[in-house]
Amino acid sequence: MTKIVKPNEPIVEHIYTADPSAHVFEGKLYIYPSHDLEHDEPSNDNGDQYKMEDYHVLSIENFNSPCVDHGEVLHVRDVPWASRQMWAPDCAYKNNQYYLYFPARDHDGIFRIGVATSTSPSGPFKPEENYIPGSYSIDPAVFVDDDGKAYIYFGGLWGGQLEKWQTGTFVADAEGPAATNPALGPIVAELNDDMLTFKDKPQEISIIDENGNPLLAGDEDRRFFEAAWIHKYNGDYYLSYSTGSTHFIVYAVGKSPTGPFVYKGKILEPVMGWTNHHSIVQFEDKWYLFYHDSSLSGGVDHKRSVKFTELTHNEDGTIQTIDPYPN
C-alpha cells in the first residue's frame, strides 16, 4: 500500500533524495530534490561522494496523500555542457513554462548553473545547450517576486567552489577569507524575462549582524556556507541558508530581495548526516520546512531522504527553531 506522508519521516523510501526545493504549482506541492546515488565510496571535503546523475520530481496533493515520484525528468547524459554531479536544483514558473535550474560540473570540472524547460511542473525538462552565461558555483534557488521580477541566488563553499571566484575568475587553489575577515555571502542576479540569462552581473549579498557589521568568516555558527533560499513573509524577504561546518539552517531578514540581510537566528538544528539543506513554502494557510537527513541509510552522508515539518513565524516575524527529532 502507498504510504501517506507524515512530518519528520522520509516522503519517499524507494530512492534517496536530498536538497528539496518545494513550490506550490497548479494547486499541489512539487518537490525538486537531488537524487542521491547508492555507492559505498568514502566522503571527502570536496563532496566527491555526491555523484548524482539525474533528477526526479516528487509531488504531494495534500498532507493526507502519498508522495508521487514522477520519475527521471533530466539526466546528465542529455546536458551537452555538463559532465557530472547534478547537485541541488530548483524550479520556477513564468511565461507559462517551468524552468528547472541545476548545478553541475562542466567539462573542465567547474561548477556552472544550467536551465531546462518544460510545460509541466512534473517535467520532463529539456536542457539548454549551454549553462547560464556568467554562472558559477552551486545551489541555485529562484524567487519570483510579486512584481514578476525573478532573482536567482546561488553559491556554496568548499566542493561548491564559491571561494575560487573571489577575483571574478576561477582560481583553482584560492582559499576562503581569513577568519577575521567578512565571510563570503551568497550571490544574487536578477534574471531577464527569458529566465535563461542574467540581467546584470551577479553580486554578492551582504549578511550583517544586529549592529550592521558583516558576519565574519570565522563565525561558523552564523556565516553563509551553501543552500540559499528566499521566502517573503509580511512584505519582508527572508534569506535562509546552511552554515555547513556547524550544520545549522539559519536566517536573515531584509527589505529588498538583494539585501542587505540582518542575521536573526536558527531555523533548524543539525540533522543526521553532514549536510543540511532546506526550502520554505506556504501551502494553503500554513508554512512548511522541507529538509533532508540520512536516517534512512543509517547516517551515510550521501544517502539522504527528504522530510518536511511545519514552520512557525512568531508575531514579531521571527521563526521558531525546529528540532528535527522532536520525539
Which are the catalytic amino acids?
A: 19, 226
Taking the least distance from each CB to ligand FUB, the nearer of 184 and 208 is 184
Amino acid, res. 254: G
**Interaction of residue 308 with ligand FUB, rule CB under 6 A:** no
Distances (CA, A) of 315 to 142, 173, 201, 240, 267: 27, 46, 37, 19, 16
CB 237 within 8 A of CB 151: no
Q: Per the structure block, which three cell numbers stand in for 295?
A: 536516517
Pick from 41, 162, 141: nearest CA to 92: 141
Per-residue binder mask for ligand FUB (CB under 6 A), 115-144, x = binder: -----------------------xx-----
- Near ligand FUB by CB under 6 A: residue from 208, 226, 241, 308: 226
DSSP letter assigned to residue 198: B
Task: Tell the smallest beta-carbon distance from residue 292 to ligand FUB (Å).
Answer: 7
Contact 94, 84 (CB under 8 A): no
For residue 149, what is its C-alpha cell? 521580477
**Of 11, 86, 88, 217, which one interacts with ligand FUB (CB under 6 A)?**
88
Among 35, 264, 277, 307, binds ligand FUB (CB under 6 A): 277
User: Sheet harboring 54-60: ordered strands across?
Assistant: 16-25, 28-36, 54-60, 67-75
Q: Which of 34, 240, 279, 295 binds ligand FUB (CB under 6 A)?
A: 34
* Binding-site ranges for ligand FUB (CB under 6 A): 18-19, 34, 50, 87-88, 138-139, 156, 226-227, 275, 277
